[in-house]
Every structure is written in structure tokens, then in C-alpha cells.
Structure 1
């Protein structure tokens, strides 16, 4: 249950620090950059989970899926690549779009894990966990889209 909170903190952390820095130093910082950094940090967290908790991730996939462990590692590497690209301004837009695709493509594994009470991060709670995970997925997709793909145009310093 702690995992969704960690994800939200990682996602919002750079933007929060940017707002504070902007107010203290009376400078402007870019919302889009900070939002992409937060998404990048979250994706690094996802990558670490795929490597450190690989067996739990394997349990989140139906037994009929072939090569589950290599698939978990492969998707982790994809998440690492997206994370890195979210820190490079030239690649932030395609990386944010890839992040949205990943959130949509990987969500069925979360549903399967919750319905079967297997895996990590609260999935053992069963279907009730989807009351947390589904809104989190919407937040992640909305963040990637509205903050990185179609970003706000005002700098943080203009936020009152």
C-alpha cells in the first residue's frame, strides 16, 4: 500500500521543489521540465522494481504468458530507457508518449494481479486494490499527457 504513495511523491517531488526554489530565489523554472523529471524518477522506481522484485512481477503475469522472467526484465529495461529519455529535453515528448503507452499496456497485469491476489504493492489485497490502482493509473497517464505531452505554458514563478 505504500507503493502508490511513493510513486506520487516521486512524481510530484521535482515540481514541488521547483515551486519552492522559484519562490525562494525569485526565478522562473519550467513546469514541463520538472514534470518530466518527476515522471522520469517514477520510471526509474518502476525499473528498480522490475529488477529487485522480479519474482513478484512474474507472479503478476498469467502462467500462460511465455518467458515471464525475461519479459519482466525486458519491460524493466524499457522503463529505464523511458526514464533516461525523460531527462533529455530533446526526447521528453516521445518519452512521455511512450510512458502513456506503457501505462495502458501494463495495466492489465495490475488487474490480473489484483483479481488473483498475487504480486506486489497491494495486489495481494485482491480486487479492492483496484480502487487505488485504477485512479493511480489515471493520475500517471494524466500527468504524462497534461504535464509533459500537452504542457502548461506558464513558468512556475507565475503560480500564485
Structure 2
């Protein structure tokens, strides 16, 4: 829920800030700014909740903590690249692929009742997917509209 709030509030703030500065709305740029802010926010979680996020990764994958940190760094790099005009198209497609690849992790975490913030097995369970899957697709559509469709 927090990433959604960050995304929407950042979008509204940047939309009006750009309107004040440029005297016109720029929905695509505002969308990329909001997505970048949201990505940095979620990337920070990779470093704060490493243990819990490691639990979200299936057991057969080694070096879970390193993987969590690398994906956090990757999110920060994507956040930056979304704001570089000549990189926004490739960054958009990369982010869409990344979001699709991360969806099974969220499904695995829900099936196993993982609470990534506490690092325990008392999470929301499958009911969380009713929110998370549509949210993941919202992020994908948002990325497409603000980086690829608007190019």
C-alpha cells in the first residue's frame, strides 16, 4: 500500500510543480518522476528488510541476501535512468520485465505467509495477492504509459 501512496502523491506533486515551472502539464514526465521516487522508496526496503525479503526467494536460489541487495541497487539504477530522456525507453522496457520477473516472488511470499518487514511467517497470505497482483500490473501499465507510449 505504501508504494502506491508514494507513487500517486509523487505524481500529483510533480504534475503541479511541472505545471508551475513550464506552464503546462507533462503527464509522462510526472509519471516517470513518480515511478522513480517509488522505486527508490522500495529499493530502500531491500536494505532495511533484507532478511525478510530473502525469505521471499525460493529455497533453491543461493545467496539470497546478495540477490536482495543487487535488486535494490538495480531499482535505484532504473529510477535514475527513467529520468534520463535518451534512456527512458529502454529503462521502461527493462522495468516492465523486472516487474514481471518479481511477480512470482510476491506469489511465493503470499503462499508461504511471509511478512518481509518482520522476517516472520505471519504475513497476510493469499489474500495479499488480491491487492498485490493488480498493483503489480498497475506499475507495469504506469511504466508503459509514462516511458514507452509517450515516446
TM-score range, shorter chain: 0.7 to 0.9
Residue 24 to residue 128, structure 1, CA distance change in 2 (3 Å): same
Say whether residues 1:115 and 2:111 are aligned partners. Answer: yes
**Cα pair 2:15 2:26 within 8 Å, conserved:** no
Higher deviation after alignment, 108-117 or 43-52? 43-52
Unaligned runs of 5+ in 1: 154-160
* 1:157 corresponds to: none
Say whether residues 1:133 and 2:132 are aligned partners. Answer: yes
**Cα pair 1:18 1:29 within 8 Å, conserved:** no
How big is the alpha-carbon RMSD for the aligned residues of Structure 1 and Structure 2? Answer: 2.2
Of structures 1 and 2, the one with the larger relative CO (CA 8 A, separation 6+) is 1
Matched pairs, number: 148
**Alpha-carbon deviation of 1:77?**
1.2
**Alpha-carbon deviation of 1:68?**
0.8
Unaligned runs of 5+ in 2: none
2:71 maps to which of 70, 75, 78: 75
Say whether residues 1:47 and 2:46 are aligned partners. Answer: no
Residue 61 to residue 32, structure 1, CA distance change in 2 (3 Å): same
Q: Hey, what's the Cα distance between the residues in 2 that align with 1:128 and 1:13?
A: 25
TM-score, length basis structure 1: 0.83
Q: What do residues 18-66 of structure 1 show as CA deviations (whole Å, max 9, x unaligned)?
A: 4434666781132111111111111111210111111110011122211
Runs of 4+ in 1 over 3 A off after TM superposition: 18-26
Q: Hey, what's the Cα distance between the residues in 2 that align with 1:19 and 1:78?
A: 26
